[in-house]
Structure 1
């Protein structure tokens, strides 16, 4: 009797596992193609925006548009190519959105420079292009050097000290500048920098590492009081310290925005770490209490509240609330579809290229354009939070959510300020506003999110063979 060789029987479970593995192996190429398509679309929109600025202001196309449209394109494509080799599974939406927002900001700043007859290196748009190149180089360095973002967890407390040190730099003799808020430092008299922008990244890393270490104690250990479990002083202390630091920033630096941003970021990460809504309520109460007393004790904060509550008072319109009212008039002038790029008068508002870049775009792009920009921010923040939620380690989850929430909160604070929803603060609109420190910090956040998303997506991949 001759034995016949039979083919081994394949179980449905084995077939399913193989098919899933093959699909995962095909994801990176499809994902990168999707990112490339979105990136090309973003670059087309940027080129069209710069061209419309030229046509709207002069009626002709200046060869300079190739500089303002070509440099962002070269920077974004370079980063995309690096991602294809170094982080193939990185989120495909983060880079195109950051590129589009940066390009739209450069186009609007260029439009304001034309109106103010700013040329050469004196033009804010030229400086913004240079800062964009530096910011992209920083993002490239993070993508190339930070192969494993979990290494940041080892230096939790070091990043905490670095963050506090950066916030205190403006008080170092010889570094601080005499501006409205003591948040700037001058480096050799060549350029000024806002260290608080980098401090928010360092503090986000510290918060994520600290909460990973103390999460169990914050949720289960403590004293029962008023219907909730209050943690021990050793765990509750940092929350109160951060609140006091936020108030200290307002008092010493006259910077309401940075204090609110840092405290809001910590409360959001605390909520994600513990899942307790009570922490959010406590955070809101502390912010409201601090803002109330600051408005009564500090003249600078009190003036901000007066401008917010009574902006159209004739006595204030010609003085302290002039900028706020001009921005609101510009938004109203834009209407639904806007005046068109290069056809409005955003330059009538003081510092329209930085603090009031959002009303400047609102005047020329209208309500539809404003909603589109806010939708880009919403997608950016949601992708960052999605990256965090999909992560398998607590540190990466908290870091991604914290950085994404920081961008979203900063947008809310700035847009709410220029539209009189909340008192105006001294923050910048992420990616859009003129300013090197803000642009560098935001692109570093982009790089960290890309690294975390690559690790999250590549970890479950099954290798066959």
Structure 2
């Protein structure tokens, strides 16, 4: 009698945490090399398209600057956040590199001081701050201690431009001693930090509801509704004082999204949309600068009918139409006719015309992937403050992309905000690198293995455990 025996194999044990971290960093380094290569090739192509030579857009300094910055950022992540998401840094480098290519392309077609060199220097400063955030911030929960300080600083930064001259009809710039920056860019990070701390500490009270009004909306207690109305009034006040539609939409939209995340009640979304619509209608009717933008949005071809030529929005729509499916090719479009705005929110029109629908979709997918990885880090975090902070930071990027892409395509009125990483602007690119650094730190905390039983769980590499902090009541 022959006995048939089955060979039982034990399942392979999972790789140790250090091996998983090393694999993630290897993936990150490979993707970074691809991101730098794509950007350098785009830079070379821009020079060739200009005059058949690459001398007008020399690639060696560009490649050294972008590649060196990417390598330094990678080493900082490898040493200080080894468990971080391997996609966050390569996406940021690729978007930053593509932005430098588009700005260089517009520099060659428009007179004036070149902007690509300045943008590369601002990007290098952003990477330096990226490294500093990872080195100095060992545990994201320590930020919860500075909630009230952050909101005080944010409000101060948002109000400062009111006392300086308007630029293009909006009070969003501070110009002093030959330098200029947008304080609102830094304020949005501070506001996200405060909202995360406030909502983490008060999410139970915010979830309380009273009598049902209709559908899923319920009457809120006054002590809960009061802060919400204060935030709404403040956002409308910013819009009135600074004539800045983009900052107001970002400010209020960020709070509503984080409020929904904290409570899980969809009624907050409906209330937020209603209040935003009421505020936008009132200010758009009464404030001349905002009213003119609304009129241009409703009829972008009115200036052509008057014989004044196409305005910026009309030129943007023409650029998208000329790009078609595959685009005219880098350096072969006419979007520079939009003027200075081609280097700000209308840089997306340049991408649409010269890279086509395919290239524009790829850029938007990169933004979508960056936002989704931020949300994923938030879902994996175990503390409410970290979850809300990751959601808020990812929402900042998502709201900016929506507002800008919607503005240049005629979906919503123009706002004048800068496209993250793509548009020219030192304040914007530095702020976005800080956001990516915080997301890297949060994703590292989310993926880091829990310390096992032992005499001193905090003695290993990485951030030492920090007891939960009390947020603002």
TM-score after normalising by structure 2: 0.90
1:185-204 CA distance string (max 9 Å, x none)? 013x2211000000000000
Pairs aligned (count): 444
Whether the 8 Å contact between 2:312 and 2:338 is mirrored in structure 1 is yes
Equivalent residue, structure 1, for 2:52: 59
Distance 1:316 1:74, change over 3 A: farther
Q: 1:201 aligns with which of 171, 176, 189?
A: 189
Instruction: Give the conservation status (yes or no) of the 8 Å contact 1:182–1:255.
Output: yes
Q: 1:40 Cα deviation (Å)?
A: 0.7
Equivalent positions of 1:340-359 (< 5 A) are 340-351=329-340, 352-359=342-349
Using the TM superposition, name which of 344-353 and 253-262 deviates more.
344-353
Residues 329, 355 of structure 2: 8 Å contact kept? yes
* Counterpart contact for 2:303–2:310, Cα < 8 Å: no
Q: Which of residues 42, 46, 53 in structure 1 aligns to 2:39?
A: 46
Match of 2:70 among 68, 73, 76: 76
How far residue 179 of structure 1 moved from its aligned partner, in angstroms, is 4.1
Contact 1:68–1:107, Cα closer than 8 Å, also in 2: no
Q: What's the counterpart of residue 98 of structure 1?
A: 92
Paired residues of 1:217 and 1:231 also in contact (CA < 8 A): no
Partner of residue 124, structure 1: 115
Match of 2:247 among 252, 258, 269: 258
> Does the alignment pair 1:394 with 2:384?
yes
Q: Which runs of 5+ in 2 are unaligned?
A: 1-8, 456-473
Equivalent residue, structure 1, for 2:443: 453
1:99-114 equivalence runs, <5 A: 99-114=93-108
Do the aligned partners of 2:17 and 2:449 also contact (CA within 8 Å) in 1? Answer: no
SS in 2 for 1:220: coil
- Shifted more, 216-225 versus 69-78: the winner is 216-225
Query: Quick one: distance in 1 between partners of 2:168 and 2:321?
Result: 30
Instruction: Name the CA shift for 1:415/1:126 in 2 (closer, same or farther; >3 Å).
Output: same
Q: Distance in 2 between matches of 1:356 and 1:424?
A: 10
Superposed CA RMSD in Å reads: 2.1
Q: Secondary structure at the match of 2:268?
A: helix
The residue that corresponds to 2:264 in the other structure is 275
Measured in 1, the distance between the counterparts of 2:43 and 2:454 equals: 48
Moved more, 371-380 or 314-323: 314-323
Query: How far, CA to CA, are the matches of 1:396 and 1:319 in structure 2?
Result: 52
Q: Deviations over 1:159-183 (max 9, x none)?
A: 11111111011134xx555542101
**Deviation of residue 92 (structure 1)?**
0.6
Q: How many angstroms apart in 1 are the aligned matches of 2:306 and 2:357?
A: 24
Relative to structure 1, the CA distance from residue 251 to residue 316 in structure 2 (aligned partners, 3 Å threshold; closer, same or farther) is farther
Q: Partner of 1:350: helix, strand, or coil?
A: helix
Unpaired stretches in structure 1, ≥5 consecutive residues: 1-11
Residues 123-132 or 274-283, more deviating:
123-132
CA deviations over 1:352-404 (Å, ceiling 9, x no partner): 11221000111111110000000000000000000001110000000001110
Q: 1:238 aligns with which of 214, 227, 235?
A: 227
Partner of 2:458: none
Q: Aligned in 2, Cα 1:55/1:320: closer, same or farther, shift over 3 Å? A: closer
Aligned to 1:213: 201
Instruction: Say yes or no: does 1:87 pair with 2:81.
Output: yes
